[in-house]
Homo-oligomer: A and B are copies of this chain.
Amino acid sequence: MEDTRLSTSAKAEKRAPFSNLVNALPATVPFVPPEQTERQLGRRFQLRLGANESSFGLSPMAKQALIDAAAETNWYGDATNDALRQKLSRLHGVPMESIAVGAGIDEILGWIARLFLNPGDGVTTSHGSYPTFHYHVNGFGGVLHWVPYRHFYNDCEGLARQAHATGSRIVYLANPDNPTGTFLKQEDIRELRRQLPADCVLVIDEAYVEFAPAEDVLPLDANDPNVIRTRTFSKVYGLAGARVGYAIAHPDTIASFDKIRNHFGVARAAQQAALASLADSDFLNRVIAFVNEGKTDYSTLAQELGYTTLPSATNFVAIDTGSEKAARWWMDALEKQGVFIRVPGVAPLNRCLRITVGNQEERNILAHHMKKLKPQVPINEETR
């Protein structure tokens, strides 16, 4: 009886008072997961090519590490991620004090927004760049300032100009870029860094960097307090489900992450799987070769369909259908065939189909569906 009275009296009270920041936030999620679409459709996707997960799986050594770690799941992971940071330190030639490990780049982008932004602070990025970064900037009260892509490339000059004009504290770009797949060489990034305001931090999200030409990637430099690089085991290493990524930055920045991060946040098995992945460079090279092969296939397919592709330094390809309507039609039509892909939300990217490079079998099925569907594309949706 008391319970009932308690509930009733509680209901009559005003709702729990959230913080001003939270009250100002819209109800939004960065991405609808494919599982939710599957529940809405009432069936599983046949092809899961919309989240840039690796169709080439994980290293057999990483898989074994996960299996071996299962029995030790009753133990927390090492909150300092020491072993993994040591190994990454040797791999990248930077001190381990300049490496922070988190539960994927998504979590780390949250740390970055929180670390640098006072409410109202400006952040500059390309219009249509990674929604989860925008989500975290909004979540900590930052104000986003957009710069249009320039021919589907991040516009470094535009970003620097906008950063000055708005007094931005952060400039963010993904390089290689998502959702376009395009890549800027180290000269361009170095020039962008040089052009930024002195108190502005350049965040380079390198989730796909292993697919880019190594010689064109800006060398790592943990001495620059105004640059943060983020990397992940979710893409080329095929460990998206394990949640492990890292940031390379100035030691002061890494030490400051320690003031705010969820210290025991990385799964113990994920630490082991990441370590094992780094020991299997053969697998890494095989995946890169497979993905390159797949990208050639996608180019050929796009040509056959009368479309072009954007150059890709990632594990996905953006196929330019020429119009937003056509892209949307394709996404819906493919979904009906059980194929999950994404179409970016912002013009002009929204005329592209962003399709993860599948394995040979997946590419065959995709090509089959797309060639069969092509004659049905409504003609008036084909014009630019």
* Contact between B33 and A78, CB atoms less than 8 A apart: yes
Residue of B nearest to A235 (CB): B74
Any chain B CB within 8 A of the CB of A6? yes
* Contact between B58 and A198, CB atoms less than 8 A apart: no
Within 8 A of B (CB), among A93-115: 103-104, 106-107, 110, 114-115
| Contact flag A74-B54 (CB < 8 Å), given A25-B259, A221-B6, A256-B22 | yes
Any chain B CB within 8 A of the CB of A134? no
| Contact flag A75-B224 (CB < 8 Å), given A2-B190, A16-B116, A139-B259 | no
Any chain B CB within 8 A of the CB of A150? no
Any chain B CB within 8 A of the CB of A382? no
Q: Which residues of B contact A311 (CB under 8 A)?
A: none
Any chain B CB within 8 A of the CB of A365? no
Bound-state CA distance A260–B18 (Å) is 12
Bound-state CA distance A184–B67 (Å) is 40
Within 8 A of B (CB), among A49-105: 51, 53-58, 62-63, 66-67, 69-80, 82, 103-104
Any chain B CB within 8 A of the CB of A383? no
The 8 Å CB contact of A57, one of B56, B58, B71, is B71
Stretch of A240-248, A299-307, A369-377 contacting B (4+ beta carbons < 8 Å): A240-248
* Contact between B223 and A7, CB atoms less than 8 A apart: yes
Any chain B CB within 8 A of the CB of A117? yes
Q: Which residues of B contact A194 (CB under 8 A)?
A: 6
A243 to chain B, nearest CB (A): 5
A77 to chain B, nearest CB (A): 6
Interface 0/1 of A132-144, CB less than 8 Å to B? 1000000100000
Interface residues on A, range: 35 or more
Q: Which residues of B contact A51 (CB under 8 A)?
A: 75-76
Within 8 A of B (CB), among A2-24: 2-3, 6-7, 10-11, 13-22
Any chain B CB within 8 A of the CB of A255? yes
Any chain B CB within 8 A of the CB of A204? no
The 8 Å CB contact of A253, one of B16, B198, B225, B241, is B16
Within 8 A of B (CB), among A211-247: 219, 221, 223-227, 234, 238-243
The 8 Å CB contact of A70, one of B66, B75, B110, is B66
Question: Which residues of A line the B interface, CB within 8 A?
Answer: 2-3, 6-7, 10-11, 13-22, 25-31, 33, 35-36, 39, 48, 51, 53-58, 62-63, 66-67, 69-80, 82, 103-104, 106-107, 110, 114-118, 121, 132, 139, 169, 190, 193-194, 198-199, 201, 219, 221, 223-227, 234, 238-243, 250, 252-253, 255-256, 258-260, 262-270, 273
